Amino acid sequence: MHQIRLRRGRASSLMRRHPWIFSGAVQRVESEPPSGATVRVIDADGRALGHAAYSPSSQIRARMWTFDPAETVDAALLQRRIAAAGQRRSALLASGQTTACRLIASEADGIPGLVVDRYDRVLVCQFLSAGAEYWRETLLDILRDAFPGTVLFERSDSDARVKEGLPSRTGPLHAVEPPDSVTFLEHGLHFRADIRSGHKTGFYLDQRENRLLLGQHAEGAEVLNCFSYTGGFAVHALAGGAAHVTDVDVSADALRLAGEHVRENGFDSGRYEQQESDVFHFLRSCRDARREFDVIVLDPPKFAASSSQVRRASRGYKDINLLAMKLLRPGGLLFTFSCSAHMTEPLFRKIVADAAVDAGREAQVLSQLSQSVDHPVVLHIPESWYLKGYLCRIG
């Protein structure tokens, strides 16, 4: 059997059930396993620690399938885990008011590197690690059996595949191709996911509950939705009775789809406007024009893709939060987020607090926000808690 032996003192993270083995922790690799193959993991004394998927090109040299040395990594194990993941999401979809969710969330569901988002009858799949790629055909067969009547589409075009030494791959996984955009419901509202060329798999499903929360605070409000993408927050704000909503994004294509979302849900276009602009520049222009809002949403893209970028990202987060706080009327609400896994919650909290001090405003936290339940946070995998946020009242 293929096997990797860890350096002395480098098994502690596995003992805490963190699933990643970095290249520096590996003393030697035995029997030259191919990319993605299952390897037995042993410590420096030869004690078996479990089984992992081997990735020779990645800094994460192996990802644990199981911490039980006696458990076999095979199709039956994958089938059990996919079935369990589907069952955990069944309540979310049961009412029919929401028809999209993340079905498989990689390590958080015990299948490292596999992400599957469901948009009604379409499953968009990402194989982001060597192990997921190795089991690709088996995983596809299991998904087809587990979710009959669905059509599968692949979006394995993430930078994560480059780090794993894998080529980009996109396209249909059935003879029947899905449309370019797939219609689905979120809390009874209509949206479309651009599954071929949209961000991630076409939509940000992790903000579902936070969008609903915004709608509950939007009645009569003038709302500014920054980094709006395809307008998910805007639609929920309009549904909640917002007097006016402004979407701001640099992408004309995203804004075009956002406008279609507003129209398809039957909202008055007079209550909605768009600005194709860099958010930093737009916020400064609003400051200079002394423009004010009742509610501002800051949902920026990932500012820190690695730990080395955290300091620079911190400046960006502080800048937009400071500017937003200056634009809010007294008692206004700020929904502010970071989706960077390398940005810890304590650091993000400090950044928002420092922005309030520099803006000369009081910030009271009404709710601490996170990702939707179909994007599980596993306590022994800190990286699984990537979306952090606050709903603040700004005095």
Domain 75-183 in CATH 2.102.10.10: no
What contacts 371, CB < 8 A, 6 or more positions away? 206, 207, 377, 385, 386, 387
Residue 307's pLDDT is what? 83
Q: What percent of the chain has pLDDT over 90?
A: 92
pLDDT at 363 over 90: yes
Question: Who contacts 219 (Cβ-Cβ below 8 Å, separation ≥6)?
Answer: 240, 241, 242
250-280 pLDDT per residue, tens: 999 999 999 999 999 999 999 999 999 999 9
Q: How many CB atoms lie within 10 A of CB 34?
A: 10
Confidence category of residue 284, pLDDT binned at 50, 70, 90: very high
- What digits encode the pLDDT tens for the residues 143-161? 999 999 999 999 999 999 9
Class for the domain spanning 3-66: mainly beta
Do residues 388 and 345 lie in contact, with contact meaning Cβ atoms separated by under 8 Å? yes
pLDDT of 241 > 90? The answer is yes
C-alpha count within 13 angstroms, C-beta hemisphere, residue 284: 6
Q: Quick one: which H or E segment has residue 213?
A: helix 208-216
Cα distances from 287 to residues 42, 54, 291, 379, in angstroms, run 59, 52, 6, 41
Residue spans of the domains in the chain: they are 3-66, 75-183, 204-394
Model confidence band, residue 281 (pLDDT cutoffs 50, 70, 90):
very high
- What confidence tier does 21 reach under pLDDT thresholds 50, 70, 90? very high
- The Cα–Cα gap between 210 and 194 comes to 21
pLDDT given for residue 142 in this prediction: 98
The residues annotated with a catalytic role in the active site are: 339
Confidence of residue 109 (pLDDT cuts 50, 70, 90): very high
Give me the numbers of helices (H) and strands (E) for the chain, helices first please: 11, 20
What's the pTM? 0.95
Report the pLDDT averaged over residues 13-41: 96
- Tell me the two tokens of residue 25: 């922790």
Which pLDDT does position 95 carry in this prediction? 93
Q: How confident is the model at residue 308 (pLDDT cuts 50, 70, 90)?
A: confident
Level-2 CATH architecture, domain 204-394: 3-Layer(aba) Sandwich (3.40)
All residues at 6 or more sequence positions from 314 whose CB lies less than 8 Å from its CB, including other chains: 343, 347, 351
**What are the CA-CA distances from residue 363 to residues 50, 80, 335 (Å)?**
47, 46, 12
What's the pLDDT score for residue 313? 85
Q: Copy the structure tokens of residue 127.
A: 């194989």
pLDDT band at 1 (very low <50, low <70, confident <90, very high): confident
The pLDDT of residue 177 is 85
